[in-house]
Chains A and B, each alone.
Chain A
Amino acid sequence: MTAPTNAGVGTGITSTPGAAAVPPPGSPNDMTTHQKKRPRVPSGHRRLLTRRDRVTLGLMAGVPTILHVALVWLTALASVALAFTTWDGIGFDSIKWVGLHNFSELFSSNPQFWPAVEHNVIWFVVLILVPTPMGLFLAVQLDKKIRFSRVYQTAFFLPVVVSMAVIGFVWQLVYNPDTGLINSLIGANEPGHYIDWIGDPDLNLWAILVAASWRHTGYMMILYLAGLKGVDPSLREATALDGANEWQTFRHVIFPTLRPTNTVVLVVTIIEALRAFDLVFVFNKGAQGTELLSILVTNNIIGESSRIGYGSAIAVVLLVISLAVIIPYLIATFRKERRA
Chain B
Amino acid sequence: MSTVSALGKQHTPLRPARILLHTFLTVTALAWLAPLLWALFAALRPYAETSDKGYVSWPDKLSLDNFTDAFEQSDMLHYFGNTLIIAVPAVLLTLFLSSCVAFYLSRFDFRVNLFLLLVFTAGNLLPQQVIITPLYRMYLLIDLPGITMSGKLYDSALGLVLIHVAFQSGFCAFVLSNYMRSLPHELTEAALVDGASVWRLYWQIVLPLCKPAMAALATLLSIWIYNDFFWAIVLISTGENMPITSALNNLSGQYFTDPNLVAAGALLTAIPTLIVYFVLQRQFVSGLTLGANKG
In the complex, whether A237 has a CB less than 8 A from a CB of chain B is: yes
Bound state CA distance, A301 and B35, in angstroms?
A: 32
In the complex, whether A61 has a CB less than 8 A from a CB of chain B is: yes
Q: Say which one of A105-113, A121-129, A258-266 lies at the interface with B.
A: A258-266
Q: Which of B105, B123, B127, B202 contacts A68 (CB under 8 A)? A: B123
Residue of A nearest to B273 (CB): A161
Chain A hits for B21, CB < 8 A: 141, 144, 146
Bound state CA distance, A180 and B42, in angstroms?
A: 10
Residue of A nearest to B98 (CB): A64
What 0/1 readout, one digit per residue, does chain A (71-93) give for beta carbons within 8 Å of chain B? Answer: 11111101100100000010000
Bound state CA distance, A267 and B230, in angstroms?
A: 21
Chain B hits for A2, CB < 8 A: 134, 138
Given A28-B189, A63-B100, A170:B173 Cβ within 8 A: no
Chain A hits for B129, CB < 8 A: 275, 277, 293-294, 297-298, 315, 318
User: B254 CB to closest chain A CB, in angstroms?
Assistant: 14
Interface range for A = 35 or more
Interface CB pairs A-B, < 8 A, 30: A2-B138, A39-B109, A48-B192, A48-B195, A61-B104, A64-B98, A64-B169, A68-B169, A71-B166, A71-B167, A72-B170, A158-B33, A159-B32, A162-B270, A163-B245, A170-B36, A181-B35, A185-B56, A214-B32, A218-B32, A222-B288, A261-B292, A263-B295, A264-B293, A271-B125, A298-B129, A315-B133, A322-B125, A326-B122, A326-B125
Chain B hits for A143, CB < 8 A: 3
In the complex, whether B131 has a CB less than 8 A from a CB of chain A is: yes
Chain A hits for B130, CB < 8 A: 76, 79, 315-316, 318-319, 322
Q: Decide if A281 touches B104 in the complex (CB within 8 Å).
A: no
- Give the dominant DSSP class at A's interface: helix
Given A68-B120, A301-B136, A56:B198 Cβ within 8 A: yes
Chain B hits for A316, CB < 8 A: 130
Chain A hits for B119, CB < 8 A: 65, 68-69, 73
In the complex, whether B80 has a CB less than 8 A from a CB of chain A is: no
Q: Which of A69, A173, A312 contacts B262 (CB under 8 A)? A: A173
- What are the 3 closest A-B residue pairs judged by CB atoms, nearest first? A163-B227, A28-B185, A78-B134
In the complex, whether B116 has a CB less than 8 A from a CB of chain A is: yes
Chain B hits for A60, CB < 8 A: 100-101, 103-104, 198, 202
Q: Which of A32, A146, A214 contacts B35 (CB under 8 A)? A: A214
Chain B hits for A169, CB < 8 A: 39, 248, 252, 262-263, 265-266
Chain B hits for A327, CB < 8 A: 122
In the complex, whether B149 has a CB less than 8 A from a CB of chain A is: no
Count, A-B residue pairs, CB within 8 A: 356
Bound state CA distance, A189 and B56, in angstroms?
A: 11
Chain A residues engaging chain B, CB cutoff 8 angstroms = 1-2, 16, 19-20, 22, 24, 28, 31-32, 34, 39, 45, 48-50, 52-53, 56-57, 59-61, 63-65, 67-76, 78-79, 82, 89, 138, 141-148, 151-152, 154-159, 161-166, 169-174, 176, 179-181, 184-185, 189, 211, 214, 217-218, 222-223, 226-227, 230, 233, 236-237, 240, 245-246, 249, 260-261, 263-264, 267-268, 271, 274-275, 277-278, 281-282, 293-294, 297-298, 300-302, 308, 311-312, 315-316, 318-319, 322-323, 326-327, 329-330, 333-334, 337
Bound state CA distance, A316 and B129, in angstroms?
A: 10
In the complex, whether B48 has a CB less than 8 A from a CB of chain A is: no
Q: Decide if B121 touches A75 in the complex (CB within 8 Å).
A: no
Bound state CA distance, A19 and B115, in angstroms?
A: 13
Given A176-B259, A246-B3, A67:B107 Cβ within 8 A: no
User: A248 CB to closest chain B CB, in angstroms?
Assistant: 11
Interface residues of B in 17-37 (CB under 8 A from A): 18, 21-22, 24-26, 28-30, 32-36
Residue of A nearest to B262 (CB): A169
User: B292 CB to closest chain A CB, in angstroms?
Assistant: 5
Given A71-B162, A184-B54, A294-B127, A1:B134 Cβ within 8 A: yes
Q: Decide if A170 touches B266 in the complex (CB within 8 Å).
A: yes
Residue of A nearest to B237 (CB): A302
Chain A hits for B114, CB < 8 A: 334
Residue of B nearest to A66 (CB): B166
Chain B hits for A172, CB < 8 A: 262
Q: Decide if B132 touches A301 in the complex (CB within 8 Å).
A: yes
Chain A hits for B163, CB < 8 A: 71
Chain A hits for B267, CB < 8 A: 166
Chain A hits for B277, CB < 8 A: 158, 161
Q: Decide if B273 touches A31 in the complex (CB within 8 Å).
A: no
Chain A hits for B116, CB < 8 A: 16, 61, 65
In the complex, whether B285 has a CB less than 8 A from a CB of chain A is: yes
Q: Decide if A158 touches B36 in the complex (CB within 8 Å).
A: yes
Residue of B nearest to A264 (CB): B295
User: B158 CB to closest chain A CB, in angstroms?
Assistant: 13
Q: Say which one of B5-13, B60-68, B84-92 lies at the interface with A.
A: B5-13
Residue of A nearest to B202 (CB): A60
